[in-house]
Chain A
Amino acid sequence: MMTWEEFRRQAFDAALQNGCDAAESYFVAGDSFSVQILDGDVDKYDVSRTCGFGLRVQVGGKNGYAYTEVADDPAALVRHAMDNAAVTENNDEHPMQGACEYVTVTRPENRALALSEREKIELALDMERRARALDPRVKRMGYDLVASGTSRVEIHNTKGLCAVREEEDSYSFLEPIMEQDGEMRDGGAFRVRSEMLDVDSLVKEAVEETAAQFGAKPVPAGTYDIVLRYDAAADLLSAFSSMFSADMAQKGLSLLAGREGETVAASCVDIIDDPLYSYSPRAFDDEGTPSVTKTVVEKGVLKTLLHNLKTAKKAGVESTSNASRSASSPVSVAPSNFYIPAGERDLKTLLTTMGNGLLITTLEGTHAGVNPVSGDFSLSARGFVVEDGKIGRPVERITVAGSFIPLLSAVQEVGCDLKFGIPGDGSIGSPSLFITGVAVSGQA
């Protein structure tokens, strides 16, 4: 066994000696910690240390990939990568980034970073205690979780690229299970970074979300005006974000292909992709391209798709710094901080403007009930009836169906309550959206 640095050096040497034009490594190492609480005690406690080395070689304009977690045989890894390049029939040019200068990004303030493991466990215990104290209908915790992690990404290549970033993050998640007259309900809330320390606010939101669902039932099928709350809107945007990928477009898998300059949404809708945005900033993408902020949709008009170096070359444009990969997968395209910017008025005002309709707070199964190729979705939803602008009885077991582009075109107003999800693979955010004429089905 050798160090990963030595492994990289030997792999690059072996690649060049065996006829590769270039080689690139994508190395990831990470630590993670999570604790789950149940009934006043630690229920699950997980710590992990992972690392993996991804190699990409270029031979005669073709890319080949290989990945390992064992630093034992660099020459064997190069052989695997070269074999994989040899079978590839795609001849699209895929440039490798050379040496670049990067801006220094500042991670958002995170006072939770200073917590010891013991203090994180205490925090999670406190979440459960306060949830039970807040409402006697709280029976137990479905989830009571505090998690944190660090990761280090190093990208090097034989063209002189050296890009290294370290990130840390932490979040808490609480899902109380509540019972009233034999009816069981669960609902969740999360907090990230410094917000985690405000336990009362987390507990209040989680308990209120859950309790509000008691007595939920379907509404008759029909066409409804809806307000899609910020979190449900962000889930939907996330599920369809691949439509904005130039990689998908060039492969004939996105209806947005070739539609730059056309209207694809209502004029009140902008969409931004900003890798430098303070929520989860990074200085470069997974090919080492320096981060670029861009407006993807401006006043409803599609301005650009998201590119990596390969798709940009094919389209004759610059990379938008949206290359994405894991250490074991090929380079692809993905959004960074991808969001609909906030409008001016709050959720309450949107509901008043709507008058009668539905407030949709949860869309279930966005991994399954959504087809980013056709743009169609049909999703199980939960929320509330809205009458004369006032939130009424809870609603469940309905489906909300439509197509993503027509839905964006039916947005009447964008709220001011922009919020992002738990940081992870891409950070997607949206404010609440007031949308007219949505097909809803429910039990007869």
Chain B
Amino acid sequence: MLQESVVRRVLEEALQTGGDFSELFVEDSEHNSVRMLDGAVENATYSRSRGAGVRVFKGTRSVYATTADTSEEALLRTARAAAAALDGAPEGRVSAFQAIRYAIPAATPLTEMENAGRAAFLRRAHQAAKSTSDEITQIIARVRDECQRVLVCNSEGVWAEDVRPRVHFIVQAVAMNGAEAQTGFSSRGFLGGYERLDTLDVEAEARRAAQSAATMLHAPECPAGYMPVVIDSGNGGVIFHEACGHSLEATSVAKGNSEFCGKLGQRIAASCVTALDDGMLPGEWGSLRVDDEGTPSGRRVLIENGILRSYMIDRLGSRMMNLPVTGNARRESYEYAPTSRMTNTFIAPGTDDEEEMIRTMGDGLFAKSLGGGSVNPLTGEFNFAVDEGYLVRDGKIQTPVRGATLVGKGSEILMQIDRVGTKLALDSSGQCGSISGWVPVDVGQPRIRVKGLTVGGKGGAL
């Protein structure tokens, strides 16, 4: 994307005021998106982004400057704008580059995909959702593909190039009867070309979304209270992602803003809990070959049988924490400085029977599908919407319930897990948002049980 001599001049320019590390990130990306509403293509968009960011460190101070113009003159100007934030004499040097080139192959190059093919795919989803229930009043389906080409170089000699094709599909079904409406979602995404969507049972995904909306339309409000909760496999993993994963990112840990600071080697979860962040899973939505600082991605055990084993650490976090980088540095685009982020994060399979954990739970909630949530990493307080939930009485699933939320603290829920099932499922619905923008991630887990959790709802007391 750029000549070595140009990159060297930019990295040197950025070090003119006393920085001890400089980095150049260049990106050239194309995106296509087609959206179908009520069985007809509503709109289609194409976009191309190109730009660069220059980052400079002096110790643990960081400076970032970006530009949408990637000419040498603009890159040098951007390097000077970054350097201007520091006020020392030149000290740092630029080492010889060790080039590593990565590329994820796309069997069907995205540039050869026609809009007609995208629309035909969406039509399959629409028809499957529509035929699921007469109460489905609206269906929105969208397919999006992108190809991100990146170059990351730094003054320590990293030169990494990567090509990252991704495809993503989402369907939302709405069931409505007069004054009430409920929604159901399903989505999948992959690192790779359209051949990955060919392997997907799009009709099943669409039917699942429609069935969820129709079921919830007739569900009573969820009762509130403190109760045992069984959280199903797949997107139930969002709770680990939000309530624990974010608190294990250097972004929180390095500055002491996490409830898991200083706990390496200590018990932070029940002994049935092992959790990983694995950016190397082939073709998964959250996977990476190399991160946005040029560090190869990896498979990392975060929690092993309840003991905290690792954080997720980017270069700046590494400087603050005196721990090595973990290949988790990510950014949405050149407009953001990278920071520590998750990739594919999940609770590993355990040994418990999926049916037994409901049968023996007494009265409580079975959360089959979770919506979004949020967490305050400092206190670990979290809040999740339950998109599809079922009330359990005396160990038997009794009725669907709507409007439930799960509220608690990351450190408490981890200790409260008393069952971990055997069947791991990943879920790629998500984009995770943080200070370096939105990045694709997978969440996942087998079915688990939490002994006690605060459930919010407006259906009175349990």
What residues of chain A have their CB less than 8 Å away from a CB belonging to chain B? 1, 38, 41-52, 63-70, 80-81, 83-90, 140, 142, 177, 184-186, 218, 221, 251-253, 255, 328-330, 364-365, 367-369, 371, 373-376, 378-380, 396-402, 439, 441-444
Nearest CB in chain B: distance from A184 CB, A = 6
Beta-carbon contact of A88 and B44 below 8 Å: yes
Chosen A-B contacts, 12 in total, with CB atoms closer than 8 Å, are A1-B71, A41-B61, A42-B85, A46-B63, A47-B66, A51-B68, A68-B48, A140-B255, A329-B45, A399-B456, A401-B456, A441-B454
| A43, A49, A88, A251: the one within 8 Å of B66 (CB) | A49
Tell me the bound Cα distance from A64 to B42 in angstroms: 10
Q: State whether the Cβ of B423 lies closer than 8 Å to any Cβ in chain A.
A: no
Bound complex: CA A369 to CA B64 (Å): 33
| A367 & B405 in contact (Cβ 8 Å cutoff) | no
Majority SS at the chain A contact face: strand
B388 to chain A, nearest CB (A): 13
**A49 touches which of B68, B373, B408, B458 (Cβ 8 Å):** B68
Closest residue on chain B to residue A331 by CB atoms: B43
Known A63-B43, A66-B46: A44·B225 in contact at CB below 8 Å: no
Question: Cα distance A38–B407 when bound, in Å?
Answer: 31
Task: Report if A221-B49 is in contact (Cβ < 8 Å); known contacts: A49-B66, A369-B372.
Answer: no
Q: Which residue of B lies closest to A369 (CB)?
A: B385
Cα A63 to Cα B43 with chains together (Å): 7
Chain B residues lying within 8 Å of A1, measured Cβ to Cβ, are 71
Task: Report yes or no: B373 in contact with A365, Cβ–Cβ below 8 A.
Answer: yes
Would you call B455 an interface residue if the criterion is a C-beta within 8 Å of the partner chain's C-beta atoms?
yes
Say yes or no: A374 contacts B183, CB within 8 Å: yes
Partner of A67, one of B45, B255, B382, B384: B45
Q: Which residues in B have some Cβ–Cβ distance to A below 8 Å?
A: 34, 37-38, 40-51, 60-69, 71, 78, 81-82, 85, 115-116, 118-119, 137-138, 140, 174, 176, 179-183, 224-226, 255-257, 335, 337, 371-374, 376, 378-379, 381-385, 402-405, 407-409, 454-458, 461
A236 to B182, CA, bound (A): 19
Contact check, A380 vs B382: say whether CB atoms are below 8 A apart: yes
B residues less than 8 Å from A63 (CB atoms): 43
Are A365 and B37 interface neighbours, CB within 8 A? no
Q: Which residues of A contact B45 (CB under 8 A)?
A: 65-67, 84, 328-330
Q: Are A364 and B376 in contact (CB under 8 A)?
A: yes
**Once the chains bind, are B374 and A401 in contact (CB under 8 Å)?**
no
Q: Which residues of A contact B81 (CB under 8 A)?
A: 47
Q: How far is the CB of A59 from chain B (nearest CB, A)?
A: 12
Q: Give bound CA distance, A441 to B404, whole Å.
A: 11
Q: Tell me which of A46, A252, A376 contacts B65 (CB under 8 A).
A: A46
Contact: A89 with B256, CB < 8 Å? no
- Contact residue among B85, B179, B371, B454 (Cβ-Cβ distance under 8 Å from A443): B454
Residue pair A50, B51 in contact (C-beta under 8 Å) = yes
Residues of B within 8 A of A441 (CB): 224-225, 407, 454-457
Chain B residues with Cβ below 8 Å from A218 are 454
Cα distance, A303 to B213, chains bound together (Å): 30
Q: Is the CB of A330 within 8 A of B43?
A: yes
Q: B379 contacts A142, CB within 8 Å?
A: no
